[in-house]
Structure 1
Amino acid sequence: MNCEQIKQRISIRDVLESYGLLPVKENRRTATYFALDRDEKTPSLSVDFVKNTAFDFGTGKSYDVISIVQVKNRCNVSEALIYLQRFDVLKPLDNNIESKDLSSYDISKIIDIQHPALLQYLESRKVVNSKIFAKEAHYIINKRKYFGIAFRNNSGGYEIRSKYSKICLGPKDVTLIKSEESQNTEVVVFEGFFDYLSYKVIEKNISSSETDYLILNSTSMLFLARDILCSYEKLSLFLDNDSAGKTAIENISLFHNNIEDCSQFYKDYEDLNKWLCR
């Protein structure tokens, strides 16, 4: 990919989260963050998720994913591109979902996962045995048809993932999955649903008791999860081994005093799924 492609195909939200930067306020299209290069009491960085850009009202500077990395890492463009290699692309060049407000979409069907490409993708992530916990979605954006693995959240939106896509259709929210036990006192928390699917693959080797599960679908959704987390006596956190994951753990510890940081279980890997794959 060249620089222009990278600016469009790597999520600015994911890049900001990699530095532990979470939105102060947000909606489906935009969010407000604290500045990249200074301490401030009032957030001044406006992020447009559709355009994949940011603007600092305090300095008048505009940013894309490359320049954000340059500021945070104090590096040149070549070094920033190396850093950005860790991120998944949003879409392929030959199957381009144009940057736009994803409120204009249509889901044509939700079925059990059966498409060979999706099964192959699940197999590559070592979670094909957990396919019953997700669905296959067929959807239309700008009159073009797409399909992907779908994971429903509490507000009826769907996290959509495939080899080429990482989007959310509908309202962004967390996903709470309650077990058959009526009054569980423990909840297991994941950042993304692939970590949840990974956990279901190895669950019997980790725990013999049933628990509830909370998938944040992004650490930026932590503000929506606080009341849910406070309703449990114990939190087992399987978050990413990066700055965003560590920041989330620190934030959770501010309002809950019985947490277990389970990321030590896969301490040499970015997340639980990466550990499972390797």
Structure 2
Amino acid sequence: MDLGLDGETVLVTASSSGLGRGCAESLVAEGANVTICGRDAARLADAESVVADAGPGDVLAVQADVTDPDSVENLVDATVAEYGGIDHLVTSAGGVPPGGFADLSDKQWYGAYDTLVMSLVWTVREAYPHLAESDAGSITCITSTSVREAIDDLLLSNAVRRGVIGLVKTVSREFAPQVRANAVLPGAHETARIEELIEAAIDRGEFADYEEGLADWASDIPLNRIGDPRELGDTVAFLASDRASFVNGVALPVDGGRLRS
């Protein structure tokens, strides 16, 4: 299926690894011009090479910290300077610390809010004028299935990410019809974040090794495996495309059927 994204410009935040990079790869494969970003210069350079090899689209790599509003402004400005505008915004963010209620400090709570919510606020604020000028403007926010069903030992994610869904649902009405806004709720995908969570569980004595932890993550998924980041990326590319032109304000799970609600 030709998604019609050839030559359109997409800004994908927090895309030097993991799900963000998977989305960038899928979009470049569809011929889109994609800006990727990350804080670590070496990791960003590696990601630029991988994403560029994924397809015919162009890639711009910009070192940026989405928890810094000035850095976000520079990121958007660099994208517009390179490509003349922004047609689609895909927002991702780094993971927040695991832990239960007694484990978490005020600093970690505020940090999680900046990482998961304010990074989105700052990016949408800067990108929206350009999205509104596009004939195809869309926003797709990558969040988590934790907004539907709480995940053990991930209190910060369970609590704070729900603000993203409220924001997306509200702007999907406020920005329409010029700009559509949707969210995707990824379940377990094989990323560095999953590795981090499994290693933390090993340290707590819950698993003997990584393979046991990976099998446990897959055990409640009807498809009997965890996802590949490109599978999420293909879903995000569809939502950005005109093929999804009547899809607005949704929170779409991409989790192999794990959610029961």
TM score, norm. by length of structure 2? 0.32
Q: Which has the higher helix share?
A: 2
Structure number with the bigger relative contact order (C-alpha 8 A, sep ≥ 6) is 2
TM score, norm. by length of structure 1? 0.31
Q: Which has the higher strand share?
A: 1
